[in-house]
Amino acid sequence: MSTQRSALVVGLGIAGMASAIGLRQAGWRVTVIERAAQRRLGGYFIGLFGTGLSAARRLGVMDAVHTRTPRRAKTWAVTRGGDRTQTGGFLDQPGEPQGVLRGDVEAALFENLGDVEVRYSTVPTAIEDVVGGALVSTRDAAGHERCERFDLVVGADGLRSTVRRLVFGPHERFMKPMHAMICAFQLRAQVPYFPVDHGLILAEPRRSLWVFPFEDCAPTALFSYRTRDIDAQFREPARAVLRRTYGPEPFGEILEHVLDEFERAEHYLFDSVHQVSMRTWCSGRTVLVGDAACCMTLYSGMGASVGLATGSLLGRLLARHEGDVEAGLRQWEARLMPFTRQHQRAARFKSQVFTPSGPVAHVLMKGLRLLGGTRRQSDVPSPVEQYFVRPMNVDFAE
């Protein structure tokens, strides 16, 4: 009789696939279920810091991750009228982040799943603790149901996690609103009169547009704005919401170009911004990873890196505590919880960098970005910069 432990991973995103690979490396038999009918394609800009890069190497996927950091990039603070001033961009900050497309990271992980079974169009409907494991009921798109026992259930199904709701409670208990919206997508063509490897920041009180450049493909764009009425943002098409939000002033050539590009975009992310705050990510033999456990928001810049690190560390610590899954989960959580909480605190400050909450914040953040544009990555970071940057390069390898 086989003694190989079994795990069910819910979610085929970065954290889910990293967890699946980490568990497979530790000798587990892994099944992944995914709500969508196929793997998500496309993707927006993300920066991989040292934490994510070292985790990708341990997972064996780094060679397949296509980094696209521009070699001669510049970033410009622009106005609707077309004025421009060179400033500091996302990739100019200390910590040497590498620019990648989210889809590139997911493709690299998917290619390295090995013998992991993937079931699409399938969701969990019930999770029940039993001695030494969990009984999981699932349903697919055709209405077929099944009930299986697993030694571990990993909830990697994002901000509005079904696993979290089934096991820990309703979303309202854990999702903390930041009263903001984001819309991210890839442009087909760069903004006119700017080289393809140049970035743009159009920042105004309570709303902004960022264009992130790559070395060998078209840039991606990020709209970010603040609102107290989140529900109203979903009552009409996103294109109409964005045009209303960035009006009534004339758009100018830059905004008009990006808005036109959005209307032609096949894949995009349009969602409200929340953080997930929990005292624990473990309940019996169910554990949450990635955004389901500790969403830090896109503003943190660390979502992909943390997703890779949590999955890699999960497999290694469970292997170390072979025969005592609960002990491995406790150590895993103790290692990661302080790290993620610090990044959640930092993300609230960084949200001001991305989208100033008012006129005063707009002026302060403009000055901060201009200061960043005069620095070099070899400079010694200030104490404030060290608080935000040093944790980005934590390597959880021992």
157 within 8 A of 166, measured Cβ to Cβ: no
According to the model, what pLDDT value does residue 375 have? 47
Q: What is the pLDDT along the chain (398 residues), one digit of tens a residue?
A: 457 899 999 999 999 999 999 999 999 999 999 999 998 877 789 889 889 999 999 999 999 998 899 988 899 999 999 999 998 888 887 777 899 999 999 999 999 999 999 999 999 999 999 999 999 999 999 999 999 999 999 999 999 999 999 999 999 999 999 999 999 999 999 999 999 999 999 999 999 999 999 998 999 999 999 999 999 999 999 999 999 999 999 999 999 999 999 999 988 999 999 999 999 999 999 999 999 999 999 998 889 999 999 999 999 999 999 889 999 999 999 999 999 999 999 899 888 888 988 776 667 766 666 655 544 444 555 554 554 445 567 777 65
The Cα–Cα gap between 194 and 84 comes to 11
| CB burial of residue 306 (10 Å; 0-12, 13-18, 19+) | buried
Tell which residue, 117, 114, 112, has the closest CA to residue 148.
Answer: 117
321 within 8 A of 327, measured Cβ to Cβ: yes
The Cα–Cα gap between 228 and 230 comes to 6
Place of tokens 């087909």: 188
Q: What is the pLDDT of residues 300-320, one digit of tens each?
A: 888 999 999 999 999 999 999
342 within domain boundaries: yes
According to the model, what pLDDT value does residue 26 have? 94
325 within domain boundaries: yes
The CATH number given to whatever domain includes residue 337 is 3.50.50.60
According to the model, what pLDDT value does residue 44 have? 85
Write out the H or E segment, with its range, that includes residue 29: strand 29-33
> What counts of helices (H) and strands (E) characterise the chain?
11, 18
- Give the phi and the psi of residue 97 in degrees, each rounded to 5: -65, 150
- Give the phi and the psi of residue 36 in degrees, each rounded to 5: -70, 160
According to the model, what pLDDT value does residue 376 have? 44
SS (H, E, C) 311-372: HHHHHHHHHHCCCCHHHHHHHHHHHHHHHHHHHHHHHHHHHHHHCCCCHHHHHHHHHHHHHH
Q: Which three-class secondary structure state does DSSP give residue 91?
A: helix
The reported pTM is 0.91
Sign of the alpha-carbon dihedral angle for 315, 321, 326, 332: negative
398 within domain boundaries: no
51 within domain boundaries: yes
231 within domain boundaries: no
Place of tokens 């150590």: 331
- Give the phi and the psi of residue 9 in degrees, each rounded to 5: -105, 125
What type of residue sits at position 212?
F
Question: DSSP assignment of 264-298, as one string?
Answer: T-SSEEEEEEEEE--S-SEETTEEE-THHHH---G
Beta-carbon contacts of 289 under 8 Å, excluding residues fewer than 6 positions away, are 15, 16, 19, 154, 155, 156, 281, 307, 310, 311, 314
If one counts the domains in the chain, the total is 1
The Cα–Cα gap between 360 and 149 comes to 56
Place of tokens 């009534």: 248
Q: Rounded to 5 degrees, what angle do the CA atoms 135, 293, 295 make?
A: 145
Domain that holds residue 14: 6-175+274-393
208 within domain boundaries: no
195 within domain boundaries: no
> Hey, what are 151's tokens?
């030694």
Question: DSSP assignment of 183-209, as one string?
Answer: EEEE-SSPPTTS-TTEEEEEEETTEEE
Strands across the sheet containing 268-276: 84-87, 74-78, 198-204, 207-212, 220-226, 175-186, 268-276
384 within domain boundaries: yes
The Cα–Cα gap between 20 and 150 comes to 14
